[in-house]
Amino acid sequence: MPDIKNIEIKTLCNELRTDYALSYGVLTCFESVVVTIELDDETLLYGEVTPLTGYTEETVESSIDSLNQFAKAVIGKSVEFSLNFFDQHIGPENSFAMSSLVPPIESYQRKFGHVAVRTKDLIQSIGCSNKTIGNIKYEINTLYEKGFRVFKIKFGRDVQCDIETIYKLSELDLKDIRLRFDANCGFTFNQSVKILKLLSLKLPDHAEYLEQPLPRHRWEEVAQINKLNLKIPQMLDESIYTESDIIKSYDAGVHFIKLKLCKFGSISRLEHALELAKKSHMNVVIGNGVASDISNYYELVFYYQNKHRIFGASESVGFLRLKNQIKYNIMVEK
């Protein structure tokens, strides 16, 4: 295996096709850290991460500081040494930064190749707020014709609007469509219960789950919701940062969690997290929607390698939101 010759770190603002609304803000671009690793056999490897307030305490600035520190330690060292060194230093305080540095080297070692992505294997986000039933139907049907079958709707900014969205969706002929609803920590306990009960009543055959209704550390309230045994469950995303969080989820009676490469820092650690979750009999969703084609590529290879152990469609769809992909130009076919 070759040595690492140089590591270049830069920032990039990736403009989005349309604004992306989350419960804690609206994004017009992804502010990313992009890493280029040059090996002494002239191979170039690429990594990327988009630290987002609300998802992590890491920032673009702190990520660059961490990356500069770790880059200095491995330049001139072998790929094997570098991977061992990084594995000893990955932690929740730097996992986002490390996810732009370690997976490119892992993918080189593992000989990752082309990934063929199908629309049926990806979610597609749709906006329902302040839209008529006719508008929603048109948007869904347009994407359905392209092969998408799993749609994600953002909740958490206006509960009354979210309730109206559920009623509108319940009036549509949804065929074999599956729906995921994501509150991004935007609900109180009572609001979470109200929305889950309404989903269980109005969309019992199409809603897969309500994602992260509560703020990150509300483990007691998470457990209280699960004890209600509602037909539509909650799924945890922001709450899952380490393997100990997976254990806490199991103890709280959670059946659905999401794993992201940026939370665990490396492909090997993502593998360990998936293994732990499956041993705990959890349904695992994979993917980061706030990312470019670079980090989405690594997640999609991982998704297809482990598809038999992963629940439903991948959420590695940040690249679909970009006006221009950075490097890999991931092609999606019906």
pLDDT band at 22 (very low <50, low <70, confident <90, very high): confident
Give the whole-angstrom CA distance, residue 306 versus residue 91: 24
Question: In sequence order, what are the beta bridge partners of 283?
Answer: 256
**Per-residue model confidence (pLDDT) at position 127:** 87
Strand order in the sheet with 4-22: 4-22, 25-39, 44-49
CATH topology identical between 4-110 and 117-333: no
Alpha-helix runs per DSSP H in the chain: 60-74, 79-89, 95-98, 102-110, 133-145, 159-170, 189-202, 219-226, 243-251, 261-264, 267-279, 293-305, 318-321
* 8 Å CB contact between 198 and 190: no
Residue 306, classified by CB atoms within 10 Å of its CB into exposed (0-12), middle (13-18) or buried (19+), is middle
**Per-residue model confidence (pLDDT) at position 245:** 98
* 8 Å CB contact between 265 and 95: yes
Residue 138 pLDDT exceeds 90? yes
pLDDT band at 199 (very low <50, low <70, confident <90, very high): very high
May I ask the CATH class of domain 4-110?
A: alpha beta
Count other C-beta atoms under 10 Å from residue 251's C-beta. Answer: 12
Give the whole-angstrom CA distance, residue 291 versus residue 55: 12
Residue 205, classified by CB atoms within 10 Å of its CB into exposed (0-12), middle (13-18) or buried (19+), is exposed
**Per-residue model confidence (pLDDT) at position 55:** 86
**Per-residue model confidence (pLDDT) at position 47:** 98
Domain ranges for the chain, please list them: 4-110, 117-333
| SS3 call for 153 | strand
Question: Which tens digits make up the pLDDT trace of 164-183?
Answer: 999 999 999 999 999 999 99
CA 281 to each of CA 243, 248, 303, 309: distance values in angstroms, whole numbers, following the listed order:
14, 14, 18, 11
CATH topology of domain 117-333: TIM Barrel (3.20.20)
Residue 24 pLDDT exceeds 90? no
DSSP state at residue 140: H
Amino acid, res. 304: Y
pLDDT band at 134 (very low <50, low <70, confident <90, very high): very high
pLDDT band at 25 (very low <50, low <70, confident <90, very high): confident
Question: Which tens digits make up the pLDDT trace of 285-328?
Answer: 999 999 999 999 999 999 999 999 999 999 999 999 999 999 99
* 8 Å CB contact between 152 and 183: no
Please state the rounded mean pLDDT for residues 134-138.
96
* 8 Å CB contact between 37 and 7: yes
Please state the rounded mean pLDDT for residues 37-66.
96
